[in-house]
Structure 1
Amino acid sequence: MASITMSELVKVYPGGVRALDSVDLTVEDGEFFALLGPSGCGKTTLLRTIAGLEASSGGTIHIGDRDVTVLAPGRRDVAMVFQDYALFPHMTVTDNIAYPLRIKKVPTAERAGKAAETAAELGLTDYLLRRPGQLSGGQQQRVALARAMACHPQVFLFDEPLSNLDARMRLEARTFLKRLQRELGVTTVFVTHDQAEALALADRIAVMEGGRIRQLGTPKEVFHRPANTFVASFIGSTPMNLLDTVVAEQGLEIGDAVLPVPAGFAGALTVGEKLVLGVRPEYLAYSSEPAEGALSGEVTVVENLGSAQLVTLSGEGAYIQVVVDEDTALAAGDRGWALPRADRVLLYRNGDLVTTGAGAAG
């Protein structure tokens, strides 16, 4: 296996579109690494540049101790699984799995044996003579994985391989993929726009925007301490509440409410400065009665999440979302109060996390 190191990697398309903007990144040997971000952020371009399917405009790529920046895709020792799986419709499962070995001119008997062995590992033995059109989406995905595994690459590259599956199958495939990668120990880069997938699968995540990495960290770090308001608004199944606040002598003013300054932040703030307060809906306690230090508003929307409810309160010039127990009776027009959990309140200055001070939320 091998690590992947990118240094000052640049990709500029005709017309001056800068898809990658001096990306510096190292994926460790054996790591499951996710590239996460909205459409157009550069994550797929970065993956394709690692694979050699896109030529970089500047910078270097190393896989292990080899500089592969200008090497052809077939010489980089990587295997890529595409969003649509890219299976050959006229070939059997056996032939699809064995195709990379055929390109490498592995003898026919040897590649058939290797295809059968790899298929058995992924539960595909009963489908070896079928063609892709005779398989379910999940089975096609496993064929694509088997094809990637058959040539024992140093690196797996996945371009949103779960996006074409239905919700239930995605969860099953996610668990399968995580277990498979752990067993194989192959360095893996996984591109997705689905933050739930990235949080569930990855050892580390790079959140991208505009061809740059906006935050790099473990799923826990990225979820609990977003480095900037972009990441804060992007990560989480329910987006973080980002509320304009002004630092006052008595605390943080948000509309008519005054919240206490979180422990550790006092020395880092200046009275009168404008900040953004961030708190996730999961870290707000809902009450139908006034509470000191709570944000208030009128219930405008109640969304059923199954085991909980997502309630939107319309407050002083802002909307506040809070996750509420499934048994709490709520109706539009009710007055509600949301009390932030003190150790989960974050503050942002000019878009970036305020980190000065011991004891800041973490």
Structure 2
Amino acid sequence: MAAITTDRLTKVYPGGVRALDEIDLTVEDGEFFALLGPSGCGKTTLLRTVAGLEESSGGSLHIGDVDVTRTPPGSRDVAMVFQDYALFPHMTVAENVAYPLRIKKVARAKRTEKAAATAGELGLSDYLERRPGQLSGGQQQRVALARAMACHPSVFLFDEPLSNLDARMRLEARTFLKRLQRELGVTTVFVTHDQAEALALADRIAVMESGRIRQLGTPSEVFRRPANTFVASFIGSTPMNLLDGVVRPRGIEVAGELLPTPPEPAGRLVDGEKVVYGIRPEYLVHSPTAVPGSLAGEVRVVENLGHAQLVTLEGPAGFVQLVVDEDTPVALGDRGFAVPRQDRALVYRDGELVTSGDPTGLAAAGASGTA
């Protein structure tokens, strides 16, 4: 096992496109680390650069104490599982799993034994003579994992390995991956655009945009205290409500309504300055009647989430979404009021987090900005 460290790692493609813009990052030894972001943000480029499949344009990359910035992929002691698994269709499961050992010129008997043992650990003993086309998506994924495990790498690299699975199988695969990584203790970097996967699997998450890390922190830090409005709008099963407001002595004025100001260090907010008031739909309480410090609106959309309802109100502040209990009677056209939880509100100035009402102490956790 080994840590991964980058120092001002840069990748510039022809035409001047900066896919990686001076990335400083440390993935700890044995950590399950997620790279999260929209398409084109640079997360897969970063993963491929760690693997050696892309050559960096500047900066350095260490795996453990070894500078591997210019080291060929085969000499980096990493194993990569691709989105489409990249299995050889003409080879059996046993042959696919043994392939990395074959490249390393391990004796045939030894690699056959090792491949069978590794496949057995992942429940593939009954499929050793089958070819990939005869397997389900979940079984193919396990073959790809077994192939990665066979050579005992220091680092696992996963490039969206769950994206080709159906919803139920994806949930099962998430549980399996988490348990397997904990048992093996191998440093793991997992690329995904699915925030639910990142929040469920990772010890820490780096949220990327335009080749930069916009926030680095634990899943709880990133979810509860997005460091900027980009992360706030990207993280969460429903986007955070981001409402234009003005600072007043006793609160934040949004569309003429005075909302409670989150607890804050003195002097951070200035009376009259323009800010953005952020509150997650989960932290708004529904009221059928007017309440001081609430956002009024007419119910425009009601979405059934199974365990709850996602309600969209349209009012003076624009569209505001809130999550209400599944048994709460809410109908289209109803008048409703969204009451913010003061301890969960956030305030942003120029796109960056100013203050937070989070009472858990995360404000001092250093979860902001770059890596």
Common topology (TM > 0.5) = yes
Give 1:341's aligned residue: 341
User: Displacement, 1:250?
Assistant: 3.6
Offset of 1:361 from its aligned partner?
8.3
| CA deviation after TM superposition for structure 1 residue 149, in Å | 0.1
Distance in 2 of aligned mates of 1:28 and 1:269: 36
Alignment of 1:110-259 (within 5 A): 110-259=110-259
The correspondence of residues 260-271 of structure 1 with structure 2, limited to 5 A, is 260-264=260-264, 267-271=267-271
Kept in 2, the 8 Å contact 1:97–1:150? The answer is: yes
Aligned-pair identity in percent equals: 76
Tell me, yes or no, if the aligned pair for 1:158 and 1:191 is still in contact at 8 Å: yes
SS of the residue aligned with 2:267? helix
Paired letter, 1:193: H
Partner deviation per Cα, 1:150-203 (whole Å, 9 max, x = no partner)? 000000000000000000000000000000000000000000000000000000
Matched, 1:9 2:2: no
| Aligned partner letter, 2:79 | A
Matches of 1:66 and 1:310 in 2, distance apart?
Answer: 50
Q: Which runs of 5+ in 2 are unaligned?
A: 363-371
Q: Which residue of 1 aligns with 2:101?
A: 101
How far has the Cα of 1:359 moved from its partner? 6.3
1:203, 1:317 → 2: CA distance?
A: 36
Matched, 1:293 2:293: yes
Once residues 26 and 321 of structure 1 are traced to their aligned partners in structure 2, the CA distance between those partners, rounded to angstroms, is: 36
Query: CA–CA distance in 1 between the matches of 2:42 and 2:73?
Result: 19
Amino acid in the other structure paired with 2:278:
G
Opposite residue 314 of structure 2, the aligned amino acid is S
User: Post-superposition shift, 1:263?
Assistant: 1.8
Q: 1:265 to 1:314 in 2, by over 3 A?
A: farther
Which of structure 1's runs of 4+ aligned residues deviate more than 4 A? 356-362
Q: Larger deviation: 165-174 or 290-299?
A: 290-299
1:80 matched to which residue of 2? 80
Q: In structure 2, give the amino acid aligned to 1:275.
A: V
TM-score where L is the length of structure 1? 0.98
In the alignment, is the contact (CA less than 8 A) between 2:5 and 2:61 conserved in 1?
yes
* Aligned partner of residue 74 in structure 1, secondary structure: helix
The one-letter code of the counterpart of 1:186 is V
Greater shift after overlay, 249-258 or 156-165? 249-258
Alpha-carbon distance in structure 2 between the residues aligned to 1:185 and 1:285: 42
Counterpart for residue 45 of structure 2: 45
Q: Which amino acid aligns with 1:73?
A: P
Q: CA deviation at 1:249?
A: 3.0
Paired residue for 1:354? 354
User: Is 1:42–1:209's contact at 8 Å kept on the other side of the alignment?
Assistant: yes
Alignment-mate amino acid for residue 157 of structure 1 = L
> What residue identity is the alignment partner of 1:334?
D
Per-residue CA deviations over 1:261-311 (Å, capped at 9, x if unaligned) read 222255311111000011100011001111111111110000000010000
Q: Report deviation, 1:331.
A: 1.3
Whole-Å Cα distance in 2 between the matches of residues 317 and 264 of structure 1?
24
Q: Equivalent residue for 2:303?
A: 303
Q: Is the 8 A contact 1:32 1:189 kept in 2?
A: yes
User: 1:315, CA displacement in angstroms?
Assistant: 1.5
Of the structure 1 ranges 256-265 and 126-135, higher mean CA displacement relative to structure 2 is found in 256-265
Asked whether the equivalents of residues 298 and 336 of structure 1 are also in contact (C-alpha less than 8 Å), the reply is yes
Q: TM-score, normalised by structure 2?
A: 0.96
Question: What amino acid does structure 2 have at the position aligned with 1:280?
Answer: R
Residues 139 and 360 (structure 1), Cα distance of their counterparts in 2 relative to 1, 3 Å cut: closer
The residue matched to 1:354 in structure 2 has which SS?
A: strand
Deviation of the 1:360 alpha carbon: 9.6
Q: For structure 1, list consecutive stretches of 5 or more residues without a partner in the other structure.
A: none
The Cα offsets for residues 22-45 of structure 1, whole Å up to 9 and x where unpaired, read as: 000000000000000000000000
SS at match of 2:231: helix
Alpha-carbon separation, structure 2, partners of 1:266 and 1:63: 44
Aligned length: 362
CA gap 1:137/1:71 in 2 versus in 1, 3 angstroms:
same
Answer whether contact 1:215 1:222 (CA < 8 A) is retained: yes
Bigger drift between 313-322 and 102-111 goes to 313-322
AA aligned opposite 1:202: A
Equivalent position amino acid for 1:75 in 2: S
